Chains A and B, each alone.
Chain A
């Protein structure tokens, strides 16, 4: 008697929606175990992690604030992932966008012109796209793996930002701290809800998600990219340009990440500092997968991931656990999702050994 994975004749549509839920549930369960092992009361920890952050207006605002960059970046990444274009360097593209848009803000200091915020957003998107264009170019022209090149550029982007805020862009009035001047108020995103930090970038994020949904599900170009991801020989047979697929795949993620980066520095942070993102670029990869590479799912998954971030902060304050626990849960969530996904194409069967059946048949034939 043993368990066997048997291929389903048709993949199960129900499991497609259930597996992210299953993965989330498993993460919670393991979380309980981890908390107990750390000597914490699991229920108290659960409350601190999942319930507390949602229990006030400010909490919900923070939830949406953190979810904004996640949903934006994940939507852009999903466009590429569906086409087997693996943009892993979103974190670097986020930084590049922040540098580009932040650079505009610093240069325009004192000009106070309206509409400059829009210019900053465009600059942010362009900055992210330029940073993503490098791996795209290296892949289309030299066949270099975009996974490795985009990742290497993440480190370079972080070093570039560090250089800028330590040297040329350092605030002369900043007591020698590595940070830029604060941006003018006119150059920050307007706050949406009083007394919270939730700003208009949330609306930009929703717009990006909506545009992504239309592109992926309804446009011909989106169809071409899906074909490229599912069967690249078929895409070639159909005449869909592989180069164009790579460019769009990388630039979509780059542009979205760039806007997200700009939204961080022209939002809650208000200036350029060496560390502007708690790993949103990487967390967005997980959001993209948990959201099934579909903007609607990504919306929900970004809320879950945002909750994990907030929970990690709460756990640090209330339970004295290191905030690195967030990264641990994020990784676990993705693992469980990949594991649960197996049930879409396979089902578990209990198998009786062949010996018994064959012996019976032989007995009958004799």
Chain B
């Protein structure tokens, strides 16, 4: 669909880009072309090499081989400063912001040569209003919500009048409504002649927004297409080489007994930059999967710490596990009572990176696997458990002695999930089950959770991926600003409604007493 008259010189052209790291070839002979005013998707699953390619374009990394042309001329982008002077701006997936500094200071740091902070503050207000991303320049970044922080990242780029804007997975931190707003902003920019590189693995968004796409798999380009002419499944086939796997999800059997009951949980966050929990009510029954949706930074961390016991409460009563009041217990004791827990960080929390898989099995499964006797560790049993887990969950690795950090994200996640499932928990709490995991492993994990539910375990899933929650959960709730909405059966709701709820706008959500008692009544009617 190229405009024949505007056989414009591509704004950016990559040829044969190659970048190898000691353990993997991240980019292998990549070609890419973007013309002015185009919104071009770079599509690929986790680990396909998208981030590395963007780092090369922005000058954070240098290619081992290949050529970059900017508006027809060959260039070398030695560092981000050089990229910015060409007119390239980047909005990072994991923001590059400084929490204890103000918005103005953060912007000043990314703009070369900014001296007058007052004038800069005025420009920030102007630009942010013009593009529909309002910001108060004097606020400290740590007090901003995740969506607002992304605005700072974007405004920071816009102030330099970019000719190419790179957006790396921008929508994982936005509610569905905010995503639509963002798309408006991007279309406005594109109409002004700015090219946009849109990195994502979310096929529906790419179809809605982009006019061109390059698909990456395993470091190579597997195809180019125009998303407007494609279907989600045709793009998926380019992305993973086969059809998207679907989970076998039978309806949950009703009438399970309540296994995890959270009642009136209010907790002040230990983190000075965190979100306090307010009056959370939730019940998870055996044989069902309950999901909690929400954009990160709304109290998920705090809720998970409270549920797992990593941050014990002052009172034992707000959390009941199989009837026992466990609010003050640390994770080991909760595991003894039958709770399993998969955290959102694999390396450093779910597993110790420098320890072997056998030693990592010892981390939580020591009781179930009978790995300790007389205070001493039984190496034969840790190895046997790890081997069992590796087999049952098809973990690709160098064996039970392989170090945790040598596994890919997907395989390590399968190991950690498997370790918890093999302990036959009565309740399993899972956070971000498939974040950063390749499609095959993600499908495997989701199916494993469904199978576990079918065996009677009560499962709670907290995730930022709405698609995933709609796929595997029986009931859904939303967490916003530390408060939890009532739950609704998945079949009886849809993405739009959940999106509205994610802004805190569910029925009965008030901050006064009348409101919260209405909320309690609504919850009571559900349990």
Contacts and interface: CB of A to CB of B under 8 A. Distances in A.
Is A–B contact present in the complex under a CB 8 A cutoff? Answer: yes
Interface of A: 6-11, 218-221, 223, 226-227, 230-231, 233-234, 236-241, 354-355, 357-358, 360-362, 365
A223 B377 contact: yes
B285 to A, nearest CB: 25
A191 B138 CA distance: 75
Contacts of B335: 239
Interface stretch (B62-70, B187-195, B458-466): B62-70
A274 B333 CA distance: 50
A239 B305 CA distance: 12
Most buried by B among A7, A221, A234: A234
Contacts of A220: 362, 366, 372, 375-377
Given A218-B377, A361-B16, A365-B16, A234 B350 contact: yes
6 contacts: A8-B22, A218-B376, A220-B377, A223-B359, A237-B350, A238-B331
A230 B355 contact: yes
A238 B351 CA distance: 10
A365 B376 contact: no
A241 B308 CA distance: 14
A231 B352 contact: yes
Contact of B66 (A7, A8, A233, A361): A361
B23 A237 contact: no
A115 B161 CA distance: 85
Contact of B352 (A9, A219, A234): A234
A231 B67 contact: no
A236 B332 CA distance: 9
A345 to B, nearest CB: 10
Interface of B: 15-16, 22-23, 62-67, 74, 76, 308-310, 330-335, 341, 343, 345, 347-355, 359, 362-364, 366, 372, 375-377, 403, 406
A interface SS class: helix
Contact of A240 (B67, B332, B376): B332
B310 A237 contact: yes
Contacts of B333: 239
Contacts of B76: 354-355, 358
A230 B67 contact: no
A219 B375 contact: yes
A8 B405 CA distance: 12
Nearest to A349: B22
B15 to A, nearest CB: 5
B332 A238 contact: yes
Nearest to A232: B348
B401 to A, nearest CB: 12
B297 to A, nearest CB: 18
Contact of B348 (A219, A226, A234): A234
Given A220-B375, A239-B332, A365 B15 contact: yes
Contacts of B364: 237-238
Contact of B310 (A218, A236, A354): A236
Contacts of B372: 220
A355 to B, nearest CB: 8
Contacts of A219: 375-377
Given A237-B343, A238-B363, A239-B331, A361 B308 contact: no
Given A237-B308, A241-B330, 9 more contacts: A231-B348, A231-B352, A231-B353, A233-B348, A236-B310, A237-B310, A237-B349, A237-B363, A239-B330
Given A10-B403, A223-B377, A361-B16, A230 B65 contact: no
Given A221-B375, A223-B362, A357 B23 contact: no
A225 to B, nearest CB: 12
Contacts of B355: 226-227, 230
Contacts of B309: 239
Most buried by A among B67, B308, B353: B67
**Can you list the 10 inter-chain pairs with the closest CB atoms, starting with the nearest?**
A239-B332, A239-B331, A9-B23, A233-B349, A362-B67, A239-B330, A231-B352, A220-B372, A231-B348, A238-B363
Nearest to B379: A218
Nearest to B335: A239
A362 B67 CA distance: 6
A227 B67 contact: no
Contacts of B16: 361, 365
A230 B22 contact: no
A237 B362 contact: no
Contacts of A357: 64-65
